[in-house]
Amino acid sequence: MHWYEKLNQYFPIEEMKSKEHMETLLQERPEIYQKNEGPGHVLMYVETDDFVFIDYLFVSKDTRGQGLGHKLIEKLKEKEKPIILEVEPVNYEDTDSEKRLRFYKREGFEHARTIGYRRRSLATNEINEMEILYWSPNKASEEMVYEAMKKTYNMVHTYKDQAFYGESYQPVEEVLTLENKRDDLLQDL
């Protein structure tokens, strides 16, 4: 099965980039957008000088519980940069979301409690809320994580979005918020 089909079957439609979007990133942005694929996994990630952003991590049901996810995360940790990812909030009716969160917690990831992420899906037109998790070898601040998320959103998530989807995603200022900035916005009202 093609790597994109594996991701598309596992991740919700509102979280998926189009195949064309991802293939274009791999072709046109190879200095930052990477794919690590094996028989039991697909890992799509962004690597900059300052951080790593996990776009998608899929481990097949057949290979789960064998330490493959741990090994993939360890390879990223060897880069000695903060690692950031988006994850859907736990849905207790969906055991995968709960298992996913437990996995990242075991790997030492923390919730970015001051960062909000709300984006309208171009596929479903519904607001999709995500939680931001991060791991850092040197205790990165949530402000740094926020800036890295903004950079990722502009460099990757919205890359040529008009061409791929016929419309653009919301600007980063509408999607990502930092709690103290949210407080400042409320005070201005």
Work out how many domains the chain is built from and give that number: 1
The confidence score (pLDDT) of residue 62 equals 85
> Is beta strand 83-87 parallel, antiparallel or unpaired with respect to 110-111?
unpaired
The confidence score (pLDDT) of residue 189 equals 45
CA 49 to chain centre: 17
Each residue's pLDDT tens digit in the chain (189 positions)? Answer: 899 999 999 998 889 999 999 999 999 999 999 999 999 999 999 999 999 999 999 999 888 888 999 999 999 999 999 999 999 887 656 667 678 888 999 999 999 999 999 999 998 888 999 999 999 998 889 999 999 999 999 999 999 999 999 999 999 999 999 987 544 444 444
CB 27 within 8 A of CB 19: no
Q: Convert the pLDDT of each residue in 131-157 to its tens digit.
A: 999 999 988 899 999 999 999 999 999
Amino acid at residue number 35: K
**Nearest alpha carbon to residue 33 among 54, 59, 16, 14:** 54
Alpha helices by DSSP H, 36-84: 68-77
CB 45 within 8 A of CB 72: no
Determine the Cα–Cα distance for residues 103 and 22; give it in Å rounded to an integer: 25
Burial class (CB in 10 A: 0-12, 13-18, 19+), 93: exposed
- Show the tokens assigned to 48: 């900059």
- Give the pTM: 0.90
Amino acid at residue number 38: G
The confidence score (pLDDT) of residue 92 equals 59
CB 84 within 8 A of CB 67: no
Burial class (CB in 10 A: 0-12, 13-18, 19+), 124: exposed
Domain that holds residue 69: 3-188
The CATH number assigned to the domain holding 26 equals 3.40.630.30
Determine the Cα–Cα distance for residues 125 and 148; give it in Å rounded to an integer: 25
